[in-house]
Structures are given as C-alpha cells and as structure tokens.
Structure 1
Amino acid sequence: MTLTIYTKPQGCFGCTKTKELFAKAGIAFTEVDITTNDQALEYISEELGYSQAPVVVYEKDGSEDHWSGLNPSKVQHVIELHNT
C-alpha cells in the first residue's frame, strides 16, 4: 500500500490531525508540501479537482482512492485496509 498526504504545513489543522492519525496507527506515508511543490498543487487541483488540504491518496493492490480535508472515517478505513 502507498499513502501520500498533500499538505500545507503551516496552520492547517486538518493536515496535522490526518498525519497524526496515520502516525499513531503506525502507517508510513509520504508527505508532499503543496506550498513549495507547484507540480503537486497542480496535480491535486487540476487532476483530482480539490481545493482544500490535506489531500490523501492511497493505493492498494492496483486500486486507488483519494479525498480532501480531515475525514476520520476515511482515515479509519485506510487503517483497516492496511491491517488486512
């Protein structure tokens, strides 16, 4: 499973909380700062259609899903997928 979290590191409560939830569950992720990475910002806004951070993208067994914003139920779902 791969997990990428596109974040705004300064002042983004949802970003901080999402990272904390995955870290607490022991799930490794790649963090991408959209304030310093123009390609990442373009990807989440133009390709995925999001305008709110964080944007979480995960892939497991060839299946990909993503969402925007703090979403504890989606985080829990990914944690459960990781543990199966």
Structure 2
Amino acid sequence: MITVYTKDHCMQCRFTKKWLDEHGIEYSLKNVDADPTLTEELQQMGFQAVPVVVAEGYEPFYGFQPHKLEKIIETL
C-alpha cells in the first residue's frame, strides 16, 4: 500500500496523485491541512514538506519523483 502525505494547494502533491491515478494505482491520502497532527508524523520521519510518499519496503521520499514511483509499482 502506498500512502501520500499531501496538502490542499500543493502542486507537486497534485502531480503525484495524478501520476498514481493515471497508472491505476491505489493509494491512501493523509492530508496535513485537514489533520495538522500529521505534521508531527512527517517530522518524525525527517520531512518538513509534502508530498511525502511512503510504501512498504521502500525508503519514504519527498516530492514528485516518477522514477521512484515506477520502481514501487513494478513490485505491486
């Protein structure tokens, strides 16, 4: 399962979600604007900005990075 930490007005978040949608990949969203306590979760992982993509078996990463998303979906 892929989880994307996001905010409402984040362009890179939109690109990440659009890419996943276009490839038919299921994912869950954690919206930091809707739940500010998620900021602490991100900070504990070492991030201060979104999007952050978390997938089991992979190092979490920041930003819209299609090459990393492609590696993840190869194993789904």
Taking structure 2 as the reference length, the TM-score comes to 0.89
Structure 1 residue 38, shift from structure 2 partner: 2.3
* Corresponding residue of 1:55: 52
The runs of 4+ residues in structure 1 deviating greater than 3 Å are: none
Identity of aligned residues (%): 29
CA distance in 2, matches of 1:17, 1:27: 14
Structure 1 residue 72, shift from structure 2 partner: 1.4
Structure 1 residue 69, shift from structure 2 partner: 1.0
CA distance in 2, matches of 1:54, 1:39: 16
Unaligned runs of 5+ in 1: none
Q: Deviations over 1:19-60 (max 9, x none)?
A: 111111111000111112122111012x1111121000011x
Tell me the C-alpha RMSD between the 2 structures. Answer: 1.2
Unaligned runs of 5+ in 2: none
CA distance in 2, matches of 1:79, 1:71: 13
Contact persistence 1:22–1:79 (CA under 8 A): no
CA distance in 1, matches of 2:47, 2:74: 25
| 1:74 pairs with 2:64 | no
* Corresponding residue of 1:27: 25
Which has the larger strand fraction?
1
Letter of the aligned partner of 2:66 in structure 1? P
Taking structure 1 as the reference length, the TM-score comes to 0.82
CA distance in 2, matches of 1:76, 1:64: 12
